Structure 1
Amino acid sequence: MPHSVTLLNPQTKIGSSLRFTRGQHMSKPNILFIMADQLSAKALSIYGHRVTKTPAIQGLADCGLVYEAAYCNSPLCGPSRQSMMAGRLPSQIKCYDNASGLRVGTPTFAHYLNAAGYRTCLSGKMHFVGADQKQGFQERLTTDIYPADFSWTPNWDDPNANVRFQDMKNVLNAGMCERSMQIDYDDDVAYQAQRWLYDRATDKSQKPWMLTVSFTSPHDPYTAQPEFWSLYDDSEIDLPTVRVSDISLDTHSMRLQNHYSIHEVDDSTLRRMRHGYYGAISYIDNKVKALIELLDRTGMREDTIIVFTSDHGDMMGERGMYYKKNFFEWSSRVPLILAGPNIKPGRNDRPVSLVDILPTFCELAEIAPIETCGTSLLENCEKPVLAEYLAEGVSYPTFMIRELNYKLFWSKNDPPLLFDIKNDPNEIENLVEDATHAPAFSKLVKLAEEAWNSDKLRSEIINSQNKRRLMQKAEDPQWDYAPDLGMSDRYVRAGRWTVDVESKAHLEVKG
């Protein structure tokens, strides 16, 4: 084991108010980490939404610790996930967009858990870019759903370049479907994850495990199968709380409207889009239910910490905006639940973010992280949340700081925005010019100027983009991952006996 990795004494206190008390069966808890994609905290009943039906997530929240103010560190899939896995901001690990990957030598939470004696596995998407498509996970059960090369690299030298070809089609074409690429993928993710968990139930080694199950739903396109679409009546689908006519659009929102070719959408289209999104959320809830029930049936739940979150949210037509790529609550605020042995149920309203996942997992595994800007969620530590957006739709870095009740949007290229989230949760009133809030504004601006050198970062990003676009054109690297699922060992083949193979798979009914 590398000498720089420190294993903690089981009795060592790390400042936690919540401590995992090791159970009768294992010295360290198993960890089941469930991720949705593009699931806004604002769209869940556990955070007050009145329409979506998510009994499994609600049940997990009822027996777990719910974080009321959890944020992604970038409102875009790739950089959000790489930042979360490394426990550092996207700019610190140079993962700026959906075509930039973790550099060699960057430890992820999977590396730390491996070093602490865990068996680690990924089922589902993680948006890895580059030749290393495991990034510390010992096993990976599925391919990814998006490319692993540089083909989605933005071009800040030409801000009008439409790299992703994402427009309003997914909004306009929302509706019911029998199957889709997203559904095919998530069905496979769930199946492979459940099979792996059954294997752990028959594993006699008693080695703790960590399984990440990462779904692509409810990411657009906003479609749902009849089973989940029919959970909602058209008449109960709500419309955006804040319409574009209620506000003056900020400069970044205006850029995104141009980027997505956003135009006025009628109420019936808005309701159909939200109907599809809510149906996809219920579909994911059903997957969460199946995973939790499997833990119950196999007797593993009593030794397992369950964590549920998403990589970012979705605007859902709020403020006349769609998809993500901004710091408003619908886009940047994510669900976050911890549940398991001796996690006291309740609510925590201090601002936290996804970079806090790595130190949390390290604390559960009793291993000290070498480098992170996050803080364990098991500690009661108040500190600002930092977030960045460094990808397509802008040509200059944009930042967000959330501290206590205040949220600052900051960019050298845009007028700043300041909101009091507690008293103005819909982010209507920009307080920058309000003298009453001048001390808070000055403090957050100072924090932003200390945290980021915008000009230097912009130069680094453009340099990275130019290199990656050149390499994609010159090489067209083939990095897409195809898993080896070990079917030759799983089923009866030449030279093997049925009874021997079946003995490894057979699991008695518990209870």
Structure 2
Amino acid sequence: MIRSLALVPFAVLALVSLAQADDAKKPNILFLFSDDQSYETPGYVGLTQAQTPSLDELAKRSVSFTHAYNQGSWSGAVCVASRTMLNSGRFVWHANDIYKTSEKERAEGRFWSEYMKKAGYRTYMTGKWHVPANAAKAFDVTGHVRGGMPQQTPQGYDRPKSADDTQWQPWDKKFGGFWEGGKHWSEVVGDEAVGFLEEAAKDEKPFFMYIAFNAPHDPRQSPKEFVDMYPEHEIEVPQDFLPEYPECKQIGCPPTLRDEHLAPFPRTKYAVQVHRQEYFAIITHMDQQIGRILEALEKSGKADETYVFFTSDHGLACGHHGLMGKQNSYDHSIRVPLLVSGPGIKPGTNDAAVYLQDVMPTTLELALVNKPEHVEFTSLLPLIHGEKAQSYDAIYNCYLDLQRSITQDGFKLMVYPKANRVKLFDLTSDPMEMKDLSADPVHAEKKQQLFATLQKWQAKVGDKLGLDAQLVK
């Protein structure tokens, strides 16, 4: 070995040493990603009965962004749009433009994981991918790569009709879904992430881990002990409960929509209690796996040099406003939890409006990667370190050509083009979005101001849908 090194020119050795030093300075990145998890569900938020002790502990050493959003979707599969935005760095309609060429984007090095590879990271992925690019090629190492949702069964829809409707149970493995293969998918993700961390403990190269749970997406299955933690008769029904959303058909959420078909129409309080029972149970079960992963990180000896990010791809109604899915622009469906911890991070909360996809440019900055021109989302680090107060002047959201919304200065304007109407909410006094102020002349100017902001954001994100200004007159 000594003899062979002597034959290598000094300049080459110097470059190798610099490269190794550069890698050594770079922190590890652990990205934990859930599916369908509303901002209100982590225990540390204190808004529901859901218990998440592992996330609660992580929150104690994290910056918690209380107003993190998904930007919307061009399809009913909101997760596809969210994940394409996350991995490409592009705003929603620009991400839609490259959706079918995502594999080409990846091959040309314009995906999140490809930038991390170039920065010297060993990249790892397990769990839900749902992006039209080859995960096995996008990452150095992959575990079980899942497509979208676990297979739902006919018995999993339009239930429960009554307390006697017990043909489908979350712990019954005969229905497959999360139980397909014999072990719950969340446990598989936990096992594989722990295994990679055990290997990483022996590797000096920095790692980038993309750990994507399918939970708590339906079918919301978990072991019986977790379901038993939440007796259905004790589950709180959301304050904004409705038997049916008035414009459900015009906004693209009819009874035939897969997500909405999960519970009976009209909604009953009992059905909502059961769905929220199962929702909380699978979240708590996933939280147990997150705890295992964080414990493995500590055991690896790498925790002090690792940034941990936790968020979800979008939220979920699960009984709010007469809705069950995520195909709407209420906060319960577009707002997600977002935690960031790591070296130099001072724990606390940050109320700045951000997008969950801001995680991608944040990690690029930590990896000393110059922000690529096509990346439109913004690093969270200036907010974390108090260098600025906000990243965006407003939060834009869309769903197909059926819904648009803009949130700014504590107000949200929703536009329903097909229903030919708008809704206006004062989120400060009405965080549950229950009192529509759109017909109140006191707020006429606010309505028009928000509509103008919405149109500006349409241009910014590549949204070509024309909106009639008469809607806010």
Specify every segment of 5 or more residues in structure 1 that has no aligned partner in the other structure, as ranges.
1-22, 148-163, 391-395, 460-511
- Partner residue of 2:430 out of 424, 431, 435: 424
Q: How does 1:107-118 map to 2 (within 5 A)?
A: 107-118=110-121
Give the drift of 1:68: 0.7
Q: Distance in 1 between matches of 2:408 and 2:249?
A: 23
Cα distance between partner residues in 2 of 1:438 and 1:191: 55
Q: Tell me, yes or no, if the aligned pair for 1:64 and 1:344 is still in contact at 8 Å.
A: yes
Contact 2:244 2:265 in 1 (8 A): no
Q: Which of 88, 91, 94 does residue 89 from structure 1 map onto?
A: 91
Q: Contact (CA 8 Å) 2:245, 2:323: kept in 1 or not?
A: no
Counterpart CA distance in 1 for 2:429 and 2:156 is: 32
1:185 alignment partner in structure 2: 185
1:402, 1:135 → 2: CA distance?
38
Separation in 2, partners of 1:331, 1:195: 33
Q: Using the aligned pairs only, state the percent identity.
A: 26
Give the AA of the match of 2:157: K
The answer as to whether partners of 2:310 and 2:339 remain within 8 angstroms in 1 is yes
1:243 is the counterpart of 2:246: no
Partner amino acid, structure 1, of 2:229: L
Correspondence 1:407 to 2:403: no
Q: Report the counterpart of residue 67 of structure 1 in structure 2.
A: 65
Deviation at 1:421, TM superposition (A): 1.6
- The 3 A distance-change label for structure 1 pair 245 and 221 is closer
Aligned residues: 411
Partner of 1:379: 382
Equivalent residues of 1:108, 1:358 under 8 A apart: no
How far, CA to CA, are the matches of 1:440 and 1:134 in structure 2? 49
Q: Is the 8 A contact 2:190 2:289 kept in 1?
A: yes
TM-score (structure 1 length as normaliser) = 0.73
The structural deviation recorded for 1:242 is 0.9
Q: 1:188: how far off?
A: 1.9
For residues 101 and 232 of structure 2, the distance between their equivalents in structure 1, rounded to whole angstroms, comes to 41
SS of residue in 1 equivalent to 2:275: helix
Pairwise CA RMSD: 3.1
Note the 1:65-144 alignment, pairs <5 A: 65-74=63-72, 76-94=78-96, 102=102, 104-105=104-105, 107-129=110-132, 132-134=134-136, 136-144=138-146
Q: Distance in 1 between matches of 2:439 and 2:154?
A: 35
**Where does residue 476 of structure 1 map in the other structure?**
none
Q: Which region of structure 1 is more displaced relative to structure 2, 111-120 or 441-450?
A: 441-450
The answer to whether the 8 A contact 1:224-1:277 is kept is no
TM value normalised by structure 2? 0.79
- Taking the aligned partners of 1:264 and 1:111, their CA distance within structure 2 comes to 47
Amino acid at match of 2:379: S
Residue matched to 1:388: 398
1:120 Cα deviation after fit: 1.3
Distance (whole Å) between structure 2 residues aligned to residue 27 and residue 167 of structure 1: 53
Q: Tell me which amino acid in the other structure corresponds to 2:395.
A: V
Runs of 4+ that moved beyond 6 A:
164-168, 453-456
Q: 1:134 to 1:95 in 2, by over 3 A?
A: farther
Kindly indicate whether the alpha-carbon contact (under 8 Å) linking 1:82 and 1:95 is maintained by their aligned counterparts in 2: no
Q: Could you tell me how far 1:165 is from its partner in structure 2?
A: 10
Inter-partner Cα distance in structure 2 for 1:89 and 1:254: 22
Please report how far the alpha carbon of residue 170 of structure 1 lies from its aligned counterpart in structure 2 after TM superposition.
6.4
Instruction: Report 1:280-359 matches (<5 A).
Output: 280-359=282-361
Pairwise CA distance, 1:74: 2.2
CA deviation vs aligned residue, 1:191-242 (integer Å, no higher than 9, x gap): 1211111110012xx2211101101011111332112112223343111221
Q: In 1, Cα distance between the equivalents of 2:320 and 2:410?
A: 21
Do the aligned partners of 2:34 and 2:311 also contact (CA within 8 Å) in 1?
Answer: yes
Instruction: Give, as a single letter, the amino acid of the residue that structure 1 aligns with 2:412.
Output: K
Say whether residues 1:434 and 2:437 are aligned partners.
Answer: no
1:95 to 1:123, Cα distance in 2 relative to 1, 3 A:
farther
Q: Using the alignment, how far apart are the partners of 1:181 and 1:167 within structure 2?
A: 12
8 Å contact from structure 1 (residues 64, 340) kept in 2: yes
The alignment partner of 1:31 has SS state of strand
SS in 2 for 1:46: helix
Asked whether the 8 Å contact 1:39–1:218 carries over to 2, the reply is: yes
